[in-house]
Chains A and B, each alone.
Chain A
Amino acid sequence: MTAIAVQQSAGRRNRYRSRRRVVSLATHFALLIGGLAWLYPLFWALGSSLKSDDQFFSSGLNPLPSHFMWSNYLQAWQEASFGRYFLNTLLITLGTVLVTLVVTSMAGYVLARTQFPGKKLCLGLVSATLFLPHGYTIIPIFDLMQRVHLLDSLWSVIIVQASSGVVFGTFLFMGYFMAIDRELEDAAQVDGAGFNQTFWRIMLPLSGPMVATVGLFTAITAWNSFFLPLVFTLGRPELRTLAVGMYAFIGENSTDWTLLCAGTVITLAPIIVLFLFLQRFFVNGLAGAVKQ
């Protein structure tokens, strides 16, 4: 009697377990298929960048090339000047990241740690800019750049791009520095470290994760930026970035589709790889922004 009951309940447990396994397998299957389908446009661009022109038009939905036309990349890099655009984009991205990190970490540190006359005013100004209607401000910026003779240079893009992320970065660094224990700074000061040494030698190295978060955010925004480089390089085509170059390429000669696909891969691949390596910083930064 009891033996039967035990057997029955064991059978029920097994059935429950196997049902759960089926559900779990089905979930994985759906997520994997759904996820890969979600990225279909990217796979399609990658595959099409290696197709011949004929195959590009005949293969339709199929992203797989029959044989690999690596020459598309060579052509895009040299003839369509994507090599030059790549270098421009890289310089703008590195410059913007560097400027943003230095400027926002310093400001965030001061706002988090020191009391000085005018601090409230400064904080108020910074927060107010979040709520002011950002009108169509590109024209006055354009005008300003013209007057300081920075127009048609990569610097103009770097400075304006960095300024657009300055408030966000400062707030992130401020929050991070506020959460660091004061003891370390006190100890450093007792050991004779000045204001500068305390910041550059101790506090900045301690904020490594936040440097990665702000740096990655800025890098992605700068690399993908379209509007600013579009407007600031209207007069100098050789300063175009990848996104702007591609946009212009459609307008100039809208025939070479496979070359254009190679261009999209050249543009998208670096930032996707960078993201895959550093994604936890990016995701943590986003999550922190909502939870506050």
Chain B
Amino acid sequence: MVAVSHTRRADLAPAPAPAARSARRRARKYLWSYLYLTPMLVLLLAFIVYPIVASLGYTLYQWNGIGDPSTFVGLGNFRQIIHDSIFWRSLGHTFVYAAIVVPVQLVLALALALVLNNRRLRFASFYRTLFFLPVVTSAAVIGVVIQLLVSNFGDSINTILMDLHLTHSHIDWLGDPHFALGIVIAVGIWHTFGYNLVYFLAGLQTIPEELYEAARLDGAGRIAIFRRITIPMLRAVGVVILVLAIIGTFQIFDLVQVLTSGGPYFSTEVVNTYIYHLAFGGTNASAVQPDVGLASAASFFFGLLLIVFSVVQVVVLRTLVRRRAAGRERQGGQS
């Protein structure tokens, strides 16, 4: 195929074009390039860049979203957010959500990926599909299903718990501030688990089989192989998976909005539902006046916190990796 096009090119090569013609041709190519880029750039500028800049402006106003913003409050919105205890609680819930969902998902996903990566295992892709399937379902609809499921078979669970004398009274799983966040977390783990499974499988497949064979010939056991080959070879991919998982969990909105709408009594309020309630009002718990300026300020503050957080994360991971590399060098020098 390649060879054919080579000979054809040799046969049909046109005579070198005059300078003027090549310049015109290049100009036409530029023109087409810009035309091809335009739709993408228009969408990007209109719906991603402009809104970011514009909402920075809103942060300085008190504004209910109708008409033009007029009541200038300066940095008052930021001050109000910083002093709002519900903002800090929702930030705390977001962190708790991430701090539980991410490690549980990663450990379970790695374990399952190790099982499914076995070449001798038949139907591995069928099993992968089973565990991956929740990922393609809508978080909002899953919220509805879980709500129905919990309101219905919650009774069955309650009966079992009461028979075992673990509890005296009926537990209203999504209506009780002590349990609601736990349910949200459990559903969150279930819903996006599949991503991490597929990521780890992809990472495991990049490890060459010869490494395992060589280790086995040297008499290494399974645990030694896992610690000395799998883990170090997965480190680069693992960091990417970790970062993606953390970013994903911080974005949580649909599931909470549909399951609990942040309630009861703000016990499942996460930052994104908090912002939504500021901008559009209408929580179950409070009927606040919508304030777009306040919502924009909250989201910018959250954005800044996330940037600081990810910079710290990158720095910490880098130093850890470097220190490890240095340690290994020292070990290598001694032996």
Contacts and interface: CB of A to CB of B under 8 A. Distances in A.
Interface of A: 24, 27-28, 31-32, 34-36, 38-39, 41-42, 44-45, 48, 56-57, 60-61, 102-104, 106-107, 109-111, 114, 116-117, 122, 125-126, 129, 132-144, 159-160, 162-164, 166-167, 170, 181, 183-184, 186-187, 190-191, 195-196, 199, 220, 223-227, 231, 242-244, 246-247, 250, 257, 260-261, 263-264, 267-268, 271-272, 275-276, 279, 282-283, 286-288, 290-291
13 contacts: A42-B134, A114-B32, A129-B44, A136-B295, A138-B51, A140-B55, A187-B5, A190-B9, A247-B140, A263-B144, A272-B133, A288-B202, A291-B237
A187 B9 contact: yes
A126 B42 CA distance: 12
B139 interface: yes
Contacts of B50: 140, 144
A134 to B, nearest CB: 7
B181 interface: no
B56 A35 contact: no
A57 to B, nearest CB: 7
A27 B322 CA distance: 39
Given A41-B142, A141-B47, 10 more contacts: A28-B122, A32-B127, A60-B156, A107-B40, A116-B33, A116-B34, A139-B58, A195-B28, A263-B144, A272-B133
A248 to B, nearest CB: 11
Contacts of B313: none
Given A36-B130, A264-B145, A60 B44 contact: no
Given A135-B300, A187-B5, A286 B136 contact: no
Contact of A286 (B12, B116, B202): B202
Interface of B: 2, 5-6, 8-9, 12-14, 28-30, 32-34, 36-37, 39-41, 43-44, 46-52, 54-56, 58, 65, 115-116, 120-123, 127-134, 136-142, 144-149, 152-153, 155-156, 190, 195, 198-199, 201-203, 205-206, 237, 240-241, 244, 253-254, 257-258, 275, 279-280, 292, 295-296, 298-300, 302-304, 306-307
Contacts of A166: 40, 43-44, 48
A224 B303 CA distance: 25
B140 A291 contact: no
B140 A226 contact: yes
A205 to B, nearest CB: 16
B44 A135 contact: no
Contacts of A129: 44, 48-49
Nearest to B53: A140
Contacts of A199: 36
Contact of B153 (A60, A160, A231): A60
Contact of B47 (A122, A163, A246, A271): A163
A102 B279 contact: no
Task: Specify which of B138, B202, B253 lies most central, judged by the most chain A CB atoms within 10 Å of its CB.
Answer: B138
Contact of A110 (B33, B48, B49, B153): B33
Contact of B206 (A125, A139, A291): A291
A45 B156 CA distance: 17
Contacts of B128: 283
A140 B5 CA distance: 52
Nearest to B6: A183
Is chain B's interface secondary structure helix, strand, loop, or mixed overall? helix
A136 B279 contact: yes
Contact of A190 (B13, B43, B51, B123): B13
Given A38-B190, A110-B36, A139 B292 contact: yes
Contacts of B44: 125-126, 129, 163, 166-167
Task: Specify which of B149, B190, B295 lies most central, judged by the most chain A CB atoms within 10 Å of its CB.
Answer: B149
Contacts of A267: 138, 141
B307 A226 contact: no
Contacts of B254: 226-227
A56 B12 CA distance: 75
Contacts of A283: 128, 132, 198
A135 B55 contact: yes
Contacts of B40: 103-104, 106-107, 166, 170
Closest 3 CB pairs of A and B: A133-B303, A35-B130, A137-B51
A160 to B, nearest CB: 6
Nearest to A191: B12
A184 to B, nearest CB: 7
Nearest to A274: B136
A276 to B, nearest CB: 7
A195 B138 contact: no
Contact of A247 (B46, B190, B258): B258
A140 B54 contact: yes
Contacts of B144: 246-247, 250, 260, 263-264
